[in-house]
Amino acid sequence: MERLVGVFGDEPLYWIERLDDDDALADVELGFSDVAAHPYQALVRATVDVLAAVPGVTGVWHEDREVVLVRAPGVAPAQLADAVDRFWLDALQRTSPDPAYGDEVGAPDLTRAWNPAPVGVDDRVPRLADALRLPPSRRRMWTYASCGAVATVGGLALATTSGGSSGVVPLVLGVANLGMGLHIAMQRRGPAR
């Protein structure tokens, strides 16, 4: 099973598979791509400690530069992969490639350019931050304005009638939507992008 595809271009960062040999010392093999293992040797070595801390793991050893073997009877490879994903996603943001490797081949420096999505987040589902960066379209402007107007009128109606509700929540949401619609209108009126 390949994990963290896209971190180093089209090549996966690593792959993890259960070994079927019952006589083997290891249950799971974790193989790192050359693009990851060479410039980030320190992270591969640190992965051994991360895997050793996973509950159910009885042994971890660094077999080769690109290979880590794990003795973890009863532990699913996906659970080990999740621990590796969390560690690498965090560590890549604050780790520079090995300078010796960069002089020879030109290692990718991911500390500045890569901003990963959290593990388990479906990339096909748009995030709120991406939606707010959409260009100011007429449709978005009128959607915010009309929804804001309806909520504001509803909030004012609730606030002015006697009864149980003060109308604060719809009034606040309506004013916020009207403000967003006005903001988009002002963006549209500015210089063309």
If DSSP codes are grouped into helix, strand and coil, which group holds residue 77?
Answer: helix
Rounded Cα distance between 168 and 187, Å, is 28
Check residue 174 and give its pLDDT. Answer: 92
CB 93 within 8 A of CB 86: no
Query: Mean pLDDT per 10-residue run, the chain (193 residues)?
Result: 55 80 78 81 89 91 86 87 86 74 50 46 57 69 90 89 81 91 81 52
- DSSP-derived letter for residue 126 is P
- pLDDT, tens only, 13-45: 788 888 877 667 888 888 888 777 778 888 888
Regarding beta strands 59-62 and 2-3, do their DSSP bridges make them parallel or antiparallel, or are they unpaired?
unpaired
Q: What stretch of H or E contains 66? A: none
Helix (H) or strand (E) holding 27: none
Distance CA 58, CA 73 (A): 8
Mapping DSSP to helix (H, G, I), strand (E, B) and coil, where does residue 101 land? helix
Q: Where are the domains of the chain?
A: 2-113, 129-189
> Would you state the pLDDT for residue 186?
83
The alpha carbon of 112 is separated from its chain's Cα centroid by a whole number of angstroms, namely: 15
Q: What tokens appear for 70 in the block?
A: 């794990």
Q: What's the residue count for the chain?
A: 193
CATH code that applies to domain 2-113: 3.30.70.1710
Spatial distance between the Cα atoms of 71 and 164, rounded to a whole number of angstroms: 63
Give yes or no for a contact between 13 and 38, defined as CB atoms under 8 angstroms apart. no
Backbone angles phi, psi at 58, to 5 degrees: -105, -15
DSSP 8: B
- pTM for the model stands at 0.50
